[in-house]
Structure 1
Amino acid sequence: MTSLSIARSLRTTPEGLLWEPSERWVRGRKGDVTVVDSHHPVLVWEPGVPVPLYAFPRAEVRTDLLRPAKNPPAGAHTGSTLFYDLAVDGALLENAAWTFPSADLADLIAFEWVQRTGRGLDHWYEEEEEIFVHPRDPYKRVDALPSSRHVVVEIGGRVVADTRSPVLLFETGLPTRYYVPREDVRLDLFRRTDHQTRCPYKGIAGYWSWDSEHGEADVPPDVVWSYPEPLPAVAAIRGLLAFYNEAVDITVDGERLERPVTHFTASLS
């Protein structure tokens, strides 16, 4: 995020919130019930939170489904004190929505996302495309570029992938990820797991763990992943396999890369 882009479009509140209007058509559902249908969403960044969320004008929210929260959380969402429970399909979902304690945003309502916090609305759409976990940040780039670099991946000194036709995925704020064609990975050394993750930029990923039948290795579970049906913007990684740089040894064109430290590192140790 550059100072120029902030000056040009982002606005700030005394509480430290950053926000800007979005021109995307956004809908949020709980099951089959559309709770939000907005042509005037607002992107909001909370202090210390690296990803944005959406807030919506009341007129574009099913406020008839909202009830004043019975047990509002203390200190959540930049000190907001006005929370709502959501009554839908005979169930009451506590603290599913809230307003911000800022005059600039007071007439907007924000919602929790199930895939991010475990509660709230479970399906979200920008235009006709389903999105996951959180809104996509307009100041973040994700580029998937086919390459001819020579990429070698090792675990415990054993080569598990060797390719000269990777796809390099450059994502703002993260190390480069090296996606390897399946035929260039020793997938027989791994076993498929039930683990899945969702990414607002890439889609739904499936995972593999090291198979201990092939010898013990100091490697965390779910160290390999793939997007079988990635979102259109990163279609080049379809079906390819990537490894956590934080947990394996990767050599690119003869140069051994240092293992990066990211917000994934703690969960991989």
Structure 2
Amino acid sequence: MSTFRTAQAVRTTPEGLLWEPSERWVRGRKGGVTVVDSRHPVLVWEPELPVPQYAFPREEVREDLLRPAKSPPTGRHTGSRIFYDLEVGGELLENAAWTYPATDLAGHIAFEWFRRSGHGLDHWYEEEEEIFVHPRDPHKRVDALPSSRHVQVEIDGTVVADSRRPVLLFETGLPVRYYLPREDVRLDLFEATEHSTGCPYKGTAQYWSWRSGGDVPPNIVWSYPQPLPAVAAVAGLLAFFNEAVDITVDGARLERPVTPFTATLGPRSST
């Protein structure tokens, strides 16, 4: 009988980092250039960040593309002191890579992800699947379950959605999201926007804003037209930010939760 390798347990460094090895094959590219090709990546959780990042053994990184940073930042990435600029195809990306000060992570290099920070490597893959924004957390679950609950959504006293065939999305650390068929949503009360976000668990989302203005935040409704396979059940369905609308489920009004998204859901600009 085999036993699970204890090497997979999360470890803590004196600097406050959490880390564990991953068995996924991870590649990172800038344009058409593969900068990282690693079969021994390490997941790292920094104390000030809610999501993990990858660090890679130096021998699995194109170190020939790295240059000592000309203007290294301070106060970023839990005490990291060594930063690198990345030069690819004549383009210089400042502070695109760094090392952690932890002894446990000596010999490893981490990289910025373009979809998260606005600079860095722009395409990442786990095995043959492209991933976005940040690595998936192996200690986090995302489940999309069809339901027959009765869900109603109101904005400023107006019922904008009424459905008995929602898909409930359960995601560790976040409130339940209620994804509703378009036929059950008054989409005529909203207008499509150019806003778009990426999620490593769900894919790329498109958004709609409330037409009537007021204090309703913009981009209050979203949908994943082509979600990742794990949450295929939400394809094309519409969801609302629980933090900014009134949702009633089976006759019980839900409290508006406070989440990391609350601070970003300010009222729409008057300009």
TM-score by length of 1: 0.95
In structure 2, how many angstroms separate the alpha carbons of the residues matched to 1:48 and 1:80? 13
Equivalent residue for 1:228?
A: 225
2:121 maps to a residue whose letter is L
Is 1:254–2:251 an aligned residue pair?
yes
1:186 maps to a residue whose letter is R
In structure 2, how many angstroms separate the alpha carbons of the residues matched to 1:104 and 1:11? 9
Equivalent residue for 1:267?
A: 264
Extract structure 1 runs of 4+ deviating beyond 6 A: none
| CA displacement at 1:48 relative to structure 2 | 2.3
Percent identity, please.
Answer: 79
2:83 maps to a residue whose letter is F
| CA displacement at 1:71 relative to structure 2 | 0.5
Q: Are the aligned partners of 1:155 and 1:217 in contact in 2 as well (CA < 8 Å)?
A: no
In structure 1, how many angstroms separate the alpha carbons of the residues matched to 2:214 and 2:111? 42
1:92 aligned counterpart, secondary structure: strand
| CA displacement at 1:8 relative to structure 2 | 6.7
In structure 2, how many angstroms separate the alpha carbons of the residues matched to 1:242 and 1:7? 40
Equivalent residue for 1:3?
A: none
TM-score by length of 2: 0.94
Offset from partner CA, 1:100-144 (integer Å, 9 cap, x none): 001110100000001111111011000111101000000000000
In structure 2, how many angstroms separate the alpha carbons of the residues matched to 1:82 and 1:267? 32
Question: Which ranges of structure 2 fall in alignment gaps of 5 or more residues?
Answer: 1-5, 267-271
2:167 maps to a residue whose letter is V
1:243 maps to a residue whose letter is F
In structure 1, how many angstroms separate the alpha carbons of the residues matched to 2:12 and 2:263? 32
2:251 maps to a residue whose letter is G
Equivalent residue for 1:201?
A: 201
| CA displacement at 1:47 relative to structure 2 | 1.1
Is 1:83–2:83 an aligned residue pair?
yes
In structure 2, how many angstroms separate the alpha carbons of the residues matched to 1:130 and 1:230? 12
Q: Are the aligned partners of 2:8 and 2:21 in contact in 1 as well (CA < 8 Å)?
A: no
In structure 1, how many angstroms separate the alpha carbons of the residues matched to 2:184 and 2:35? 46
Is 1:25–2:36 an aligned residue pair?
no
Map 1:1-269; keep pairs closer than 5 Å: 9-212=9-212, 216-269=213-266
Offset from partner CA, 1:207-255 (integer Å, 9 cap, x none): 000113xxx4431100000000000000000000000000100000000
1:104 aligned counterpart, secondary structure: helix
